[in-house]
A and B are shown apart, each in its own frame.
Chain A
Amino acid sequence: MRAAGSGRLRPATAEPHPVEEHPGEPALRISDLVVEFSTPAGTVRAVDHVTYQVARGETLAVVGETGSGKSVTVLAALGLLSAGNVRRVSGRAEVAGQDLLALPARERRTRLGADVAMIFQDPMSALDPVQRVGDQIAEALRAHDRALTARTARARVLELLTLVGVPQPAIRYDQYPHQFSGGMCQRVVIAMAIANRPKVLIADEPTTALDVSVQAQILELLRLAARETGAATVLITHDLGVVAEMADRAAVMYAGRIVETAPVARIFDRPQHPYTASLLASLPRLDQPQGRLRAIPGQPPDLRERSAGCAFAPRCPIGGDRPECRTERPVLVARDDGAVACHHAGQAVTLLPQPDARPSVAPPARPDDAPAVVEVVGLAKVFPIRRGLLARTVATARAVDGVDLRIGHGSTLGLVGESGCGKSTLARSLLRLLEPTAGSIRIDGADLLRANGRQLRRLRQRVQMVYQDPYSSLNPRLSVGDNAAEPLRLAGVPRTQRRRTVLELFEKVGLRPEHADRLPAEFSGGQRQRVAIARALAPSPAVVIFDEPVSALDVSVQAQVLNLLRDLQDETGVAYLFVSHDLSVVRQMADTVAVMYLGAIVETGAASQLYRRPRHPYTRALLDSIPVPDPSIRRQRVPLTGDPPDPTAATTGCRFRSRCPLGRERAACADRTPELRQVDGRWTACHFAEEVA
């Protein structure tokens, strides 16, 4: 894997992105696009007079939150909207001067794939599971070039697979998608997309479903694909880091309209629209935690309730009360190297946190010697893998393999790692939702694993959990108040007292107490997560486990929830275990951080130290892989190659060895499993930690 791709993918120099002129006809021009859906509650205008164009070789990032219309725009432009309730699609979508929307469906189809190619979010479902991977690419080739013989097609496919960094293409050609990892699938999808040298390449959240280290690889590959084909690229994303890393220009969408468009450096330096500025200000930063994030109040608007004024006005820190914002819809006006739709465009830049105004001191670090609320020693969880008729155990997966943890009273431990590293298994073991194979867990000194039925239920009241997906973690048939009261009911608290506690909690987490009798379906994701937080805090637990609590939320809502968690901890002194793959979020929340790889903790220590000077090559690589929302520090990165290895494979020596930039060839790494040892004020499991700078 490593050999094939990395050499070609790495840019030759650390030059900033080429800022070329893009003369002549734009490759893609969308103008005045309007898309409406009819719903039982009325017409929803999902895309409202959107206009943008992309030149050959240029990358335009379209940024926006859920429901902003960023995906619907391109789907409609390509004639791919198939929902039955599409009411209206109007406007023009020109590819090389030819309006796709005016073409008959059949002709349009032939142009898709030839002139326009799409890369979707979920690579697994973009590939046909019952067809050989190579044949799928060949089919894409031959669909547009009937003259191609089977043999030349195969040769072309092998070439493409090599280009996108699929190792051993000749073998991989004949495999099926399920034999590929997510990152590999995305490489295949990209190969298919560029097979016919399209003029326009559309990537819809191409890395959202992937791990950080794989994301970095795929972003590199996308850059290569754009360079190889010279295509105009539209990159649809919600991640401002990806925008800063990849795009030449960005268009910010809000409530179905473009509110600002400009070259990337301008967008990040001098945002002109208050929404853009607020988004940038609300992001947690990797370099240092802020006391509080500047959250955008409220939630994204309901598209069915169209107001006459600016859609952002109710949440806008500048124009909220001004009459013109309420009554008159701002139009896009050229301004400062771009265009912006705001009545008070000049003032947005003041919303950005000033470098000197940012609190440079981290919040007072909690004393490390605080009494331990959770103490985990040597925890292991082994899953048997059964196959065959008799369900014999053929292998074992060591999901958690000897983990020690300690969470002090009132402090926050951040647990970081990629998917499959065992962090969720670990989190669930702490509630004994999974039965650990070995080790011990003490909650407030009481042994969780030895507890019998009743003791266990009592201990579980002390440990509460907030789950990732607020849409599935609340019981849809209970009112939100009853949902939040569940732990109290189980503890035998009488009804009236439950009610009182829940109403108080609702107040605390920022929900209106009078909404307690509504069903979860009436609430947005952010509000539901607040309900889940209220539920977790209801029995006054000693520790709350957060399993990716904000990753399902919109960017603008994330900051609200993170601030809330901070406040609640300050108020109640509850300890947090904060599990996440997002290092910036963990930086914002955690006092100490533990980095997990393949079931074991490879590095742990104070957050400030770990982020500033990582000593484990894996921590280092993770930090390097994150796209930072600042185009001025687009760096030469050393991305991790390959995917996390299969946890069922028995490894000797260091488990990170196969992907490590340091230890691949060293004997010590193959022979001895590195133990956690103290290096530079933190614990690191690497033989050569001193070499990581």
Chain B
Amino acid sequence: MATLSMASERVRARSGARTFLSRYARSRSAVVGAIGLLVIVVCAVAAPLLAPYDPTAQSAGSLLGPSGSHWLGTDDLGRDILSRAIYGARASLTVGCGSAALGALLGVPLGVVAGYLGRWTDSVSMRFVDLLLAVPTVLLALVITAVIGASRINLIVAIGVAAIPQFARLARAATLSIRDRDFVVASRGMGASTPDTMFRTVLLNLLGPIMVQLVITASLAVVVEAGLSVLGLGVPPPTPSWGGMLQEARGYLYQSPTFGVFPGLCLAITVFCMDRVGHGLRVAVGVESAGATTRAVI
């Protein structure tokens, strides 16, 4: 058995990035997800170039079906649905990634400090995290947007704060598992200060799992953002967002099915792609096998 571990170790050795990619590629669905996500990101970034119309311009008649000039038809105000869907990716992605990043930025240091220092620091910060966890994400977001108003930034803050517990717990658990490894002890022994040990030596070794968590949290955040938009607490109109479009389409499902179906599809595909990318990263980092079935989202 010793042979096996030695062999695999030397393999890992060859080239870090290359092996990482080849491990990632072991999961087909992860590759599909990565390509899909790439397409969505390109759409969001290059929206002005790709969208046939201005997403807020009321160009033609309202609630038109798909046609040569409006591939997906128009909405109740006569705006092009395809253009709005393309621009809508911006809202979903910025809110999704922004809130995940905010959650990580606040949660990871909290978790590292709690895990590394232990004792009362640990107890206090984890009780705080429990407190956050006790409040449902949507409710927390509701309260925040209700108090400080709905805007993209506020959405990011609301969802990001709700994501703190996941990051804090992950970082704490990972810190606990490496806190007593020799290289961390060695860092102290060499005369490193506590912050130096925590945020250089320890944090550097948590990047893998944190990256995975970032993608997963982002996919959840996209769903939450859409949910809040349907409740009318999302990105304020007329800025297009998929959740907002769903909300607008609610009353017209019979007259114009494409109005509601397409933003919904966009959401589903984005979340699916993100989930698969998360899965691929987990495989590459070595916490999940390539054949594992889809994790339930939410």
Contact = CB atoms under 8 A, between A and B. Distances in A.
Partners in one complex: yes
B23 to A, nearest CB: 8
Interface size class of B (residues with CB under 8 A): 20 to 34
A687 B208 CA distance: 59
A327 to B, nearest CB: 25
Contacts of B1: 71-72, 75, 83
Given A37-B3, A473-B182, A478 B204 contact: yes
B188 A433 contact: yes
A469 B182 contact: yes
Given A37-B3, A44-B3, A473 B8 contact: no
A467 interface: yes
A487 B186 CA distance: 10
A472 B182 contact: yes
Contacts of A468: 182
A39 B191 contact: no
Interface in B1-39: 1-4, 6-14, 16, 19, 22
A37 B190 CA distance: 41
B8 A39 contact: yes
A66 interface: yes
Contacts of B181: 472
B207 interface: yes
Given A67-B2, A478-B204, A491 B191 contact: yes
Contacts of B13: 519, 521-523
Contacts of B185: 428, 433, 467
A486 B190 contact: yes
A40 interface: yes
Contact of A477 (B3, B193, B196, B205): B205
Nearest to A304: B7
Contacts of B6: 66-67
Contacts of B22: 40
Interface residues on A, range: 35 or more
Given A66-B6, A67-B3, A472 B183 contact: yes
B16 A519 contact: yes
Contact of A456 (B191, B201, B207): B191
Contact of B204 (A39, A477, A522): A477
A457 B191 contact: yes
B3 A490 contact: no
A478 B183 CA distance: 11
B119 to A, nearest CB: 11
B191 A433 contact: no
Contacts of B11: 39-41
A303 B16 contact: no
Interface in A294-352: 302-304
A101 B183 CA distance: 44
A464 interface: yes
A546 B181 CA distance: 17
B192 interface: yes
Interface in B186-216: 186-193, 196, 201, 204-205, 207
A475 B201 contact: yes
Contacts of B183: 472-476
A433 B180 CA distance: 11
A537 to B, nearest CB: 12
A641 interface: no
B2 A66 contact: yes
Contacts of B204: 475, 477-478
Contacts of A469: 182
Contacts of B189: 431, 433, 460, 464-465
Contacts, number: 104
A458 interface: yes
A303 B1 CA distance: 14
Nearest to A477: B204
Interface string A97-128: 00000000000000000000000000000000
Interface in B266-289: none
A46 B7 CA distance: 10
A519 B205 CA distance: 13
A72 B201 CA distance: 37
Contact of A487 (B12, B182, B191, B205): B191
A72 B3 contact: yes
Contacts of A431: 189
Contacts of B192: 457, 486, 490
A556 interface: no
Contacts of B4: 37, 46, 83, 85
A44 B7 contact: yes
Given A478-B204, A486-B190, A521 B16 contact: yes
Contacts of A304: 7, 10
Nearest to B192: A490
A303 B3 contact: yes
A47 to B, nearest CB: 9
A461 interface: yes
A177 interface: no
A153 to B, nearest CB: 32
B274 to A, nearest CB: 25
A357 to B, nearest CB: 35
Q: Which of B9, B13, B14, B196 has the most CB of A within 10 A?
A: B13
Nearest to A75: B1
Interface in A121-155: none
A368 B235 CA distance: 79
B14 A490 contact: no
A69 B3 contact: yes
Nearest to B208: A477
Contacts of A476: 183, 205
Interface string A430-462: 010100000000000000000001001111110
Nearest to A459: B191
A431 B4 CA distance: 37
Contacts of A453: 193
A48 B118 CA distance: 51
A465 B3 contact: no
- B3, B7, B16, B188: most-surrounded residue (chain A CB, <10 A): B3
Interface in B139-186: 181-183, 185-186
Contacts of A490: 190-192, 196
Contacts of A478: 204
Nearest to B16: A519
Given A71-B1, A72-B1, A491-B191, A465 B207 contact: no
A676 to B, nearest CB: 29
A278 B189 CA distance: 37
B9 A521 contact: yes
A69 B6 CA distance: 11
A41 B205 CA distance: 26
Contacts of B2: 66-67, 71-72
B19 A458 contact: no
A467 B183 CA distance: 9
| Interface hub of B13, B14, B182 (most chain A Cβ within 10 A) | B182
A351 B191 CA distance: 45
Contacts of B19: 40
Interface in B116-142: none
A539 B22 CA distance: 40
Contacts of A71: 1-2
A600 B89 CA distance: 70
Given A41-B14, A490-B196, A465 B186 contact: yes
A523 B9 CA distance: 9
Select the residue from B7, B9, B181, B190 with max chain A CB neighbours within 10 A.
B190
B190 A464 contact: yes
Contact of B10 (A69, A302, A465): A302
14 contacts: A39-B8, A41-B10, A41-B14, A44-B7, A46-B4, A75-B1, A459-B191, A460-B189, A465-B186, A473-B186, A475-B204, A477-B205, A521-B12, A535-B186
Given A44-B3, A44-B7, 12 more contacts: A41-B7, A41-B10, A46-B4, A67-B2, A67-B7, A85-B4, A457-B191, A465-B189, A467-B182, A475-B205, A490-B196, A519-B13
> Which 3 pairs, one residue from A and one from B, show the smallest C-beta to C-beta distance?
A460-B191, A473-B182, A457-B191
